[in-house]
Amino acid sequence: MGIARQEEIKLRRSYARTIPKLLFAQRGRHHPRGMKRAAKATQQLKTIAGRLVREFNRKLSATLIEEYGERLELFQIVLDQKRGDGNKIYPEC
Protein backbone atom coordinates (compact mmCIF):
# COMPACT_ATOMS: atom_id res chain seq x y z
CA MET A 1 0.00 0.00 0.00
CA GLY A 2 3.04 2.23 0.26
CA ILE A 3 3.36 2.26 -3.54
CA ALA A 4 -0.27 3.34 -3.87
CA ARG A 5 0.25 6.12 -1.34
CA GLN A 6 3.44 7.35 -3.02
CA GLU A 7 1.95 7.37 -6.51
CA GLU A 8 -1.53 8.48 -5.38
CA ILE A 9 -3.25 5.46 -6.93
CA LYS A 10 -6.85 4.83 -5.90
CA LEU A 11 -7.15 1.21 -4.79
CA ARG A 12 -10.39 -0.72 -5.16
CA ARG A 13 -10.30 -1.54 -1.49
CA SER A 14 -8.18 -0.45 1.44
CA TYR A 15 -7.09 -3.28 3.69
CA ALA A 16 -5.96 -0.88 6.42
CA ARG A 17 -8.18 -2.50 9.07
CA THR A 18 -8.09 -6.07 7.79
CA ILE A 19 -4.33 -6.58 7.57
CA PRO A 20 -3.52 -5.71 11.22
CA LYS A 21 -6.28 -8.05 12.43
CA LEU A 22 -4.90 -10.88 10.29
CA LEU A 23 -1.34 -10.25 11.48
CA PHE A 24 -2.62 -10.44 15.06
CA ALA A 25 -4.47 -13.69 14.27
CA GLN A 26 -1.20 -15.26 13.13
CA ARG A 27 0.27 -15.00 16.61
CA GLY A 28 -0.93 -18.32 18.02
CA ARG A 29 0.70 -20.51 15.36
CA HIS A 30 2.45 -22.78 17.88
CA HIS A 31 -0.49 -23.30 20.22
CA PRO A 32 -2.80 -26.25 19.50
CA ARG A 33 -5.93 -24.10 19.46
CA GLY A 34 -4.41 -21.38 17.32
CA MET A 35 -2.90 -23.39 14.47
CA LYS A 36 -5.99 -23.48 12.30
CA ARG A 37 -6.78 -19.80 12.89
CA ALA A 38 -3.18 -18.79 12.13
CA ALA A 39 -3.10 -20.86 8.94
CA LYS A 40 -6.36 -19.29 7.78
CA ALA A 41 -5.03 -15.79 8.50
CA THR A 42 -1.84 -16.56 6.55
CA GLN A 43 -3.85 -17.71 3.55
CA GLN A 44 -6.03 -14.59 3.68
CA LEU A 45 -2.93 -12.38 3.79
CA LYS A 46 -1.52 -14.15 0.72
CA THR A 47 -4.84 -13.63 -1.08
CA ILE A 48 -4.83 -9.91 -0.25
CA ALA A 49 -1.19 -9.59 -1.37
CA GLY A 50 -2.02 -11.27 -4.69
CA ARG A 51 -4.95 -8.91 -5.23
CA LEU A 52 -2.77 -5.88 -4.55
CA VAL A 53 0.02 -7.06 -6.89
CA ARG A 54 -2.49 -7.66 -9.71
CA GLU A 55 -4.08 -4.28 -9.11
CA PHE A 56 -0.71 -2.52 -9.24
CA ASN A 57 0.12 -4.29 -12.50
CA ARG A 58 -3.17 -3.04 -13.94
CA LYS A 59 -3.04 0.53 -12.71
CA LEU A 60 0.64 1.51 -12.87
CA SER A 61 1.85 3.17 -16.03
CA ALA A 62 4.72 1.67 -18.05
CA THR A 63 7.30 4.03 -16.55
CA LEU A 64 6.17 3.26 -13.01
CA ILE A 65 6.19 -0.47 -13.71
CA GLU A 66 9.85 -0.10 -14.72
CA GLU A 67 10.51 1.80 -11.49
CA TYR A 68 8.68 -0.63 -9.18
CA GLY A 69 9.09 -3.73 -11.36
CA GLU A 70 11.79 -5.30 -9.20
CA ARG A 71 9.66 -4.99 -6.06
CA LEU A 72 6.55 -6.33 -7.81
CA GLU A 73 8.54 -9.30 -9.16
CA LEU A 74 9.83 -10.03 -5.66
CA PHE A 75 6.27 -9.93 -4.28
CA GLN A 76 5.14 -12.32 -7.02
CA ILE A 77 8.01 -14.73 -6.30
CA VAL A 78 7.08 -14.81 -2.60
CA LEU A 79 3.44 -15.48 -3.50
CA ASP A 80 4.27 -18.23 -6.02
CA GLN A 81 6.76 -20.22 -3.95
CA LYS A 82 5.64 -23.57 -2.59
CA ARG A 83 6.57 -25.47 0.54
CA GLY A 84 9.07 -27.79 -1.15
CA ASP A 85 10.82 -25.13 -3.22
CA GLY A 86 14.45 -24.31 -2.60
CA ASN A 87 15.99 -20.83 -2.32
CA LYS A 88 12.96 -19.34 -0.63
CA ILE A 89 12.48 -15.64 -0.02
CA TYR A 90 11.00 -14.84 3.37
CA PRO A 91 8.98 -11.62 3.72
CA GLU A 92 9.81 -9.18 6.48
CA CYS A 93 7.01 -8.54 8.92
pLDDT in tens, 40-88: 999 999 999 999 999 999 999 889 988 998 999 999 999 999 989 999 9
Residue 72: how many CB atoms within 10 A of its CB? 19
Residue 84: what pLDDT? 92
What pLDDT, on a 0 to 100 scale, did the predictor assign at position 1?
A: 65
Instruction: Give the predicted TM-score (pTM) of the model.
Output: 0.83
Judge contact between 69 and 53, C-beta under 8 A. no
Q: What is the CB neighbour count within 10 angstroms for residue 43?
A: 11
CA dist list (Å): 59 to 19, 42, 68, 72, 74: 22, 26, 12, 13, 18
d(CA 24, CA 92): 15
Domain ranges of the chain: 2-80
Q: What are the tens digits of pLDDT across the range 13-29?
A: 999 999 999 999 998 88
